[in-house]
Amino acid sequence: MPHPVADQGTLRLQVYQGELLRASTVAVRDLIGQTVAVIYRGDIENGEVRFDIPTSLASGSYTVSIESEYVRHAIPLVITR
């Protein structure tokens, strides 16, 4: 669910099968699927991981996509300023 933030937001995930997230890309995409920001590239390990949402994003609706060879997942993101 949306949580308003004043300056910066953080995406927090709990990873249980990090072996499925080797060579991952975490990106912010607009509603037509264009990548507007790449947050992270690399291996994602087990445990809690945090990614900062770029403060340069304009108000609007986005998705945060997490993709690897084995995983493709999208999380809705709403920015309001």
Domain parsing of the chain, residue ranges: 9-79
Residue 52 has pLDDT above 60, yes or no: yes
Q: What percent of the chain has pLDDT over 90?
A: 68
Over range 49-66, report the average pLDDT.
92
9-79 classified as CATH 2.60.40.1930:
yes
Over range 44-50, report the average pLDDT.
95
Residue 8 has pLDDT above 80, yes or no: no
Over range 62-78, report the average pLDDT.
93
For residue 13, which of 5, 24, 30 has the smallest C-alpha distance?
A: 24
Q: Compute the CA torsion angle 20, 8, 34, 68 (nearest 10 deg).
A: -10
Q: Residue 33 region, left (φ>0) first, then alpha (ψ -120 to 50), else beta? A: left
At 63 the pLDDT is: 92
